[in-house]
Amino acid sequence: MAESSGKVCLITGATSGIGAAAALAAARSGGTVVIVGRKERKCIQQVSKIRRTVPGAHADYLVADLSSRQQVRDLASQFIARYPRLDILINNAGAYFGKRELSVDGLEMNFALNHMAYFLLTNLLLGRLNEAPSGRIVVVSSGAHANGKIDYEDLQTERDYSLGKAYARSKLANVLFTYALARRLENTHVTVNALHPGLVATNLGSNNSWLRTKLRNLLKRQMLTPEAGAKTIVFLALSEEVKNVSGKYYYECKAIPSSKDSYNEADQERLWQMSERLAGLVH
């Protein structure tokens, strides 16, 4: 793991689970870690934990509900106003929803939080990343992306909604986004890679029915710890080994093939253009 003194790392979804574990690891490497969460109380608790665990750590927080387009914009503006540089952006915040719910912008929530938040925040912060000597973007996807299909005529899953379908679709969108962005970042000092963290014992899905949550809790004994699940995130964010690697999909700190559908460049570009419009980046 490279020493990151002087660098600034922004990580979303960092008040618990693999995000919190990755933030702690980044703090240990030096530099400044800025965590993002929905609730200020949890952000304060996590920053305090980082400072207790890593004496002298530079840790800060910003509060945002990333399912809201306006709050993503506000987050980016606050970060840019507060920090003159950004070296590492870790897009990690995510959830899944047992019943179909809509964001404040009228988007299906898996799509809004798991894909659109990544897409918009990254685009808003690309200027800062391009100014860094060596910028890195880490996109936390999932092995579930292999079961995903993008229906461009029903992007918001209005027909035949199911948790599995909507979640897998959003995770496939992560990988399509990563590959499309990597092409746009060729000949720059910024890299982007996606990853599958493994089956991790976290609070993901705790917003769903008591039965699903109970079953998940029973399975936790067979799952990875958050620290183990964060290893590939930390590897992509900090390892010298991948300093110049971009446009790859990783699992257990190794580049592996993603699903066949994820390599379809026409789909990558179609999703990018639709996401631009939904994010309000083009009209």
pLDDT, one tens digit per residue, over 258-282 is 999 999 999 999 999 999 999 999 9
- Starting at the earlier edge strand, list the strands of the sheet with 254-255: 58-63, 32-37, 8-12, 88-91, 135-140, 190-196, 249-251, 254-255
Q: Which of 61, 118, 167, 179 is catalytic?
A: 167
Q: Is 167 a catalytic residue?
A: yes
Query: Mean pLDDT across the stretch 115-121?
Result: 98
| Band of pLDDT at residue 199, cut at 50, 70 and 90 | confident
Q: What is the CATH number of the domain that holds 211?
A: 3.40.50.720
Q: Pick 223 or 196 by higher pLDDT.
A: 196
| DSSP state letters, 17-52 | HHHHHHHHHHHHTSSEEEEEES-HHHHHHHHHHHHH
Query: Mean pLDDT across the stretch 153-157?
Result: 95
Pairing of strands 135-140, 254-255: unpaired
Q: What is the pLDDT of residues 225-246, one digit of tens each?
A: 878 889 999 999 999 999 999 9
Query: Domains in the chain: how many in total?
Result: 1
Angstrom distance (rounded) from CA 101 to CA 276: 22
| Tokens 């530099």, located at residue | 31
Residues 122, 89: contact at Cβ < 8 Å?
A: yes
The verdict on residue 224 lying in a domain is: yes
Q: What is the pLDDT of residues 247-263, one digit of tens each?
A: 999 999 999 999 999 99
The values of phi and psi at residue 55, to 5°, are -55, 135
Q: What share of the chain is helix, strand, coil (3-state, %, to 5)?
A: 50, 15, 35
Paired tokens of 153: 């005529």
Angstrom distance (rounded) from CA 128 to CA 217: 40
CA angle (219 as vertex; 213, 221 as ends), nearest 5:
125
Dihedral sign for Cα 9, 172, 121, 225, please: negative
| Band of pLDDT at residue 221, cut at 50, 70 and 90 | low
Average pLDDT value for the chain = 92
Q: What is the CA radius of gyration of the chain?
A: 17
Paired tokens of 78: 């606050």
Paired tokens of 249: 């999909």
| Band of pLDDT at residue 213, cut at 50, 70 and 90 | low
Q: Which pLDDT does position 198 carry in this prediction?
A: 85
The verdict on residue 2 lying in a domain is: no
Is the pTM of the predicted complex or chain greater than 0.85? yes
Query: Mean pLDDT across the stretch 80-87?
Result: 96
Instruction: List the domain range (segments joined by +) for residue 115.
Output: 8-279
The verdict on residue 1 lying in a domain is: no
